[in-house]
């Protein structure tokens, strides 16, 4: 029986690829890629010529059985996403779960993921935190925001630059204008930036400077002394 490798890929700088990740991809019989066009650039950079197959949220349910059967037959399969660690706000959970259920060995390599460097550089407490990923865009959004009002740990969110100001403005409504926040963007890239301050200060910054690139929001937890809304005029969509 073969095995499944979960391989993190750089979130920005190509040099963030590990030696082990390169070796595993070169030795794999098949590479499952979220977007083969994006991954082709990475593989070309490291002279990796192994076969690739698309594995994304629109086809993972249809192809997971064939992947499991291929590994059962002795193949070594490597799973990558466009950037970062598969399964963290990216496809990967389903194939990992089914491999484990089938008794297949799964090894996840340590490596790049956007929220860890963002958290550490945010200056917010990082010994305890909760990862929320992308908030629901419509249904369930208000419920999620309310459920986090009493959260004392640093909260981590992913967000699109096009929705950043809207999301931070909602945070003011639910968590108070004075709550500390850090917005990190373009991690490990040339234009990497981390903007820190109160929610009001950071909203003002991004109203004046249009946000671009991949966004990680680090929001301080509740200190039990803040006056935050327990209800909202925002209706669930």
Q: What is the DSSP string of 180-203?
A: EEEEEESTTSTT-EEEEEEHHHHH
35 Cα distance to chain centroid? 16
Last residue of a domain, one of 73, 108, 143: 108
Q: Which CATH number characterizes residue 170's domain?
A: 3.30.950.10
CA 85, CA 237: separation in Å to the nearest integer? Answer: 31
Considering the domain architecture, whether residues 96 and 159 belong to the same structural domain is answered as no
Considering the domain architecture, whether residues 64 and 124 belong to the same structural domain is answered as no
Q: Which residues contact 200 (CB under 8 A, 6 or more apart)?
A: 172, 177, 178
CA 105, CA 210: separation in Å to the nearest integer? Answer: 45
Whether the pLDDT of residue 2 is over 60: the answer is yes
Last residue of a domain, one of 45, 79, 108: 108
Considering the domain architecture, whether residues 98 and 79 belong to the same structural domain is answered as yes
Q: How many domains does the chain have?
A: 2
Whether residue 163 lies inside any domain: the answer is yes
Whether residue 27 lies inside any domain: the answer is yes
Whether residue 226 lies inside any domain: the answer is no
Whether residue 235 lies inside any domain: the answer is no
Last residue of a domain, one of 87, 108, 129: 108
Tokens coding 26: 């070169």
Mean pLDDT along residues 143-161: 97
Q: Which CATH number characterizes residue 98's domain?
A: 3.40.1010.10
Residue 132's domain spans which residues? Answer: 115-219
pLDDT at residue 236, rounded to an integer: 47
Quick: pLDDT tens for 5-56.
999 999 999 999 999 999 999 999 999 999 999 999 999 999 999 999 999 8
Burial of residue 82, with CB atoms counted within 10 A of its CB: 0-12 exposed, 13-18 middle, 19 or more buried: middle
Considering the domain architecture, whether residues 33 and 16 belong to the same structural domain is answered as yes
CA 99, CA 76: separation in Å to the nearest integer? Answer: 12
Whether residue 56 lies inside any domain: the answer is yes
Whether residue 58 lies inside any domain: the answer is yes
Q: What percent of the chain has pLDDT over 90?
A: 88
Quick: pLDDT tens for 211-226.
999 999 999 999 866 5
Considering the domain architecture, whether residues 75 and 134 belong to the same structural domain is answered as no
Considering the domain architecture, whether residues 43 and 128 belong to the same structural domain is answered as no
Q: Are the beta carbons of 18 and 122 closer than 8 angstroms?
A: no
Whether the pLDDT of residue 97 is over 50: the answer is yes
Burial pattern 213-233, b for ≥16 Cβ within 10 A else e, equals: ebbbbbbbbbeeeeeeeeeee
Whether the pLDDT of residue 62 is over 60: the answer is yes
Mean pLDDT along residues 99-116: 95
Considering the domain architecture, whether residues 122 and 54 belong to the same structural domain is answered as no
Whether the pLDDT of residue 229 is over 60: the answer is no
Considering the domain architecture, whether residues 120 and 212 belong to the same structural domain is answered as yes
């Amino acid at each position: 029986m073969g095995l499944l490798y979960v391989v993190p890929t750089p979130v920005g700088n190509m040099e963030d690829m590990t030696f082990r990740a390169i070796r595993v991809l070169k030795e794999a019989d098949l590479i499952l890629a979220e977007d083969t066009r994006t991954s082709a650039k990475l593989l070309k950079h490291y002279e990796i010529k192994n076969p690739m197959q698309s594995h994304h949220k629109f086809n993972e349910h249809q192809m997971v059985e064939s992947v499991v059967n291929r590994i059962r037959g002795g193949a070594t399969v490597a799973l990558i996403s466009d950037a970062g660690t598969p399964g963290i706000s990216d496809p990967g959970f389903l194939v990992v779960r089914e491999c484990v259920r089938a008794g297949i060995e799964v090894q996840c390599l340590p490596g790049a993921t956007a929220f860890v460097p963002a958290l550490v550089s945010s200056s917010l407490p990082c010994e305890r935190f909760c990862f929320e990923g992308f908030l629901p865009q419509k249904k369930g959004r208000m419920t999620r925001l309310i459920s986090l009002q009493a959260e004392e740990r640093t909260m981590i969110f992913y967000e699109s630059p096009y929705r950043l100001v809207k999301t931070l403005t909602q945070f003011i409504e639910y968590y108070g204008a004075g709550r500390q926040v850090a917005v990190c963007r373009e991690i490990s890239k040339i234009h990497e930036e981390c903007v820190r301050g109160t929610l009001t200060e950071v909203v003002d910054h991004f109203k004046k400077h249009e946000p671009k690139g991949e966004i990680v929001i680090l929001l301080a937890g509740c200190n039990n002394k803040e006056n935050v809304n327990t209800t909202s005029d925002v209706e669930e969509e």
